[in-house]
Amino acid sequence: MLFSSLIFIMVFLPVVFIGSRILRKNKYVNVLLLLASLFFYAWGEPVYVLLMLASIIVNYFAGLALDKNRNKAKLILVLDIIFNLGLLGFFKYASFGTVVLVNYLHVPITPLSVRLPIGISFFTFQIMSYIIDLYRGKFPVQKKIVNLALYISFFPQLIAGPIVRYEDINDQLENRVFTTEKSAEGIRRFILGLGKKVIIANTVAEAADRIYAYNPDTMSAKVVWVASILYTLQIYYDFSGYSDMAIGLGKMFGFEFLENFNYPYMSASISEFWRRWHISLGTWFREYLYIPLGGNKKGKNRTYINLIIVFFLTGFWHGAGFTFIFWGLYHGFFSIIERLGFSKILKKCKPLALIYTFFVVNLGWVFFRIGGLKNAFIVVSKMFTPGLKNYYTLGEMMSHRCMLVAVLGILGAGIIQLIPQKVPAVNKIVKNPVVQYVWCAVIFGISILLLASNTYNPFIYFRF
């Protein structure tokens, strides 16, 4: 079930929201939200909901055991992490691993074909944050299995994040407050995210998919660049739109989730980009991998090694494939280059820094999008081979509506948002409640019309 589906918007969400208002008390609402979350997951993964339940039960009792046996806490922690990573490793990487063994190491085995459970990367990292921080003594053990199960399976952030750390939501599980103002803010945030996804991401995605479906030999450098920019817009509005909807849904039920995006395409370096893009994932890797490895406290060489490890695993976390690994290491390379002194040059010229960062990020998305390193390098080579004959016009590949939406997408990725900061009169208009309600009503109406008339509605991060 997608947030941007009519059945979710018109049936599932109203029923659960009204039910939560009728029950009112958090302990009853938590049960309702848990059952709704399991139903939400089972809608798309009827079998793998059992896997999630098994994971919840194992980690619940692991937490209790860790709390009661502090002298064996480290052993329990290690065994629990092995269990969680084992599940993630099997379902996400077993197929890739056997393909590597057969095709590259020529091991005589039959390649596995394991279906990837939706959202397993996200809820596994959430589970691990609970058990690791419990071991660190950041909070008392959660003795109510309903509360822990809700934290792990809560439907707004279950499928594609943001990755919510337990310490950020612990108190809210029992002590959150429902207010009309918070619900209204949540609805507004959900609608803005819905508009990002349906109006912008879906529109540019159709054109990007159409272009990438062609043989690269039939495309000119201009067309390949257009495709890369369209995908750059698609993945941002797709994922940030989902995060906005998740944050809005959380507010509707009394929860406060941390922001997951902060206009990343306005970054002036790759290091800054990763402080603005998928913030919850970057925070997770920093807290549970980079810092435990030593961070930047053990000398420059160790810092670079730690960065390589983190970015390698960041790429591998996104998908079982060499293109994802390359994409992660690619970003790690530029992060290290900036630490070696290039960041000082970037700070001297902000426009140059913005162009450099967008160029690097945009090029990186080609490897993220194209299946197979060989094909990705072919496409990239086309981008830097001017004068090639173009067998198709841009008009054949993208509609005028797509062109308009793409321009609006570029402006809306941080440029338009600067205007209220610079012009007080505009800021006053933007913050006017009436203007906000009208704006949300227009976005919601257009989104519903598009959903009713178009079946193209994928979410990129569902496969991670």
The encoded tokens of residue 144 equal 């109510």
Catalytic annotation present for 278: no
Cβ atoms 221, 381 nearer than 8 A: no
Q: What is the DSSP letter of 266?
A: G
> What does the chain come to in residues?
464
Which is the catalytic residue, given 106, 278, 318, 400? Answer: 318
What is the four-CA torsion angle of 177, 178, 183, 189, rounded to 10 degrees?
Answer: 30
Spatial separation of the C-alpha atoms in residues 148 and 127, rounded to whole Å:
9
269 in helix, strand or coil?
coil
The encoded tokens of residue 86 equal 């084992």
Spatial separation of the C-alpha atoms in residues 136 and 167, rounded to whole Å:
11
C-alpha of 88 from chain center:
17
| Cis bond before residue 264 (omega within 30° of 0) | no
249 in helix, strand or coil?
helix
Cβ atoms 413, 265 nearer than 8 A: yes
> How many CB atoms are closer than 10 A to CB 116?
19
Closest C-alpha to 137, from 74, 218, 58, 49: 74
What is the four-CA torsion angle of 126, 127, 133, 134, rounded to 10 degrees?
Answer: 150
Spatial separation of the C-alpha atoms in residues 351 and 136, rounded to whole Å:
43
Furthest-apart CA atoms within the chain: distance in Å:
70
Q: Is 397 exposed, middle or buried (0-12, 13-18, 19+ CB in 10 A)?
A: buried
The encoded tokens of residue 250 equal 């959380």
C-alpha of 436 from chain center:
26
The encoded tokens of residue 186 equal 């949540």
Spatial separation of the C-alpha atoms in residues 166 and 60, rounded to whole Å:
13
Spatial separation of the C-alpha atoms in residues 441 and 437, rounded to whole Å:
6
Spatial separation of the C-alpha atoms in residues 80 and 403, rounded to whole Å:
50
Say how many Å lie between the first and final Cα of the chain, rounded.
16
Count of helix runs (H) and strand runs (E) in the chain: 25, 0
What are the catalytic residues?
318
